[in-house]
Amino acid sequence: MGFDIESLINAVGYPGLFLIVFAETGLLIGFFLPGDTLLITTGLLIQRGHLEVAGHSGLWIVIPLLIVAAVVGDAVGYQIGRHAGPRIFNREDSRWFHRKHLERARQFYDRHGGKTIIAARFLAFIRTFAPTVAGAAQMPYHRFAFYNILGAALWVPSMTLMGYFVGKAIPNIEIFFTALVVLMVGFSAAPAIWHVVRERRAAARRRSAA
């Protein structure tokens, strides 16, 4: 399976899955963590009998658990943005922080507003930074919380159940897994890439007009 996410999931169990999803959605250093791929692989492993609890499937444990992890992670990211504010946007790049991802999330937020909190769940990189941008923009927390919970309730089950049902429908799923991961990464990144391309074209037209 390439990067051995299967061994990682089996090693860390439920506590580790919670922490990974929390960090990927709530901490600015979490952009490199395997969000979509982790959820899909978790669904595949549960379908194969891993992560059982008292002989029962872990599917209905992992979904609520990771919804909570995603909601709490975004809430923490929001508070980081709300309290740190402009200091984050002026921060220098480092090994664990890349300002370009934050700027990309801010551009996406400026264009789409509150819907970004939902859409960002399915977008690599933007998922990590969107709640921080919402906090820095002083989005009312009750409004943020609504989009946060709804986005998590859509993202976690859809990715996990995709892995579960694909694993059930296709024998020897390892043959198709790499293609599935590439497809999901492309699906996650495509809207962000298209957004960047549109922004660059618009900037070029403005320069030409000037």
Give the mean model confidence (pLDDT) for residues 38-65. Answer: 87
Query: CB of 121 within 8 A of CB of 155?
Result: yes
pLDDT tens per residue across span 3-48 = 577 788 888 899 999 999 999 888 877 666 777 888 988 998 898 8
The answer, yes or no, to whether residue 188 has pLDDT greater than 60, is: no
Q: Which residue has the higher pLDDT, 2 or 82?
A: 82
Q: CB-based contacts of 127: which residues, under 8 Å, 6+ apart?
A: 24, 25, 35, 120, 121
CB atoms within 10 A of CB 52: 12
Show the CA angle centred on residue 191, arms to residues 104 and 176, nearest 5°: 125
The answer, yes or no, to whether residue 199 has pLDDT greater than 60, is: yes
Q: Which residue has the higher pLDDT, 209 or 32?
A: 209
72: exposed, middle or buried (Cβ count in 10 Å: 0-12, 13-18, 19+) = middle
pLDDT tens per residue across span 140-169 = 899 999 999 999 999 999 999 988 988 777
pLDDT score recorded for residue 195: 62
> What is the percent of the chain where pLDDT is above 70?
74
Cα–Cα distance list, 69 to 23, 85, 148, 186, 190 (Å): 9, 23, 11, 24, 25
* Whole-angstrom distance, CA of residue 44 vs CA of residue 40: 6
Which of 16-20, 120-124, 169-173 has the highest average model confidence (pLDDT)?
Answer: 16-20
Residue 209: pLDDT band (50, 70, 90) is: confident
pLDDT score recorded for residue 183: 64
> What is the percent of the chain where pLDDT is above 90?
24
Which of 54-68, 95-109, 125-139, 156-170 has the highest average model confidence (pLDDT)?
Answer: 54-68
pLDDT score recorded for residue 76: 95
The answer, yes or no, to whether residue 98 has pLDDT greater than 50, is: yes
Give the mean model confidence (pLDDT) for residues 117-128. Answer: 83
Question: What is the overall mean pLDDT for the chain?
Answer: 79
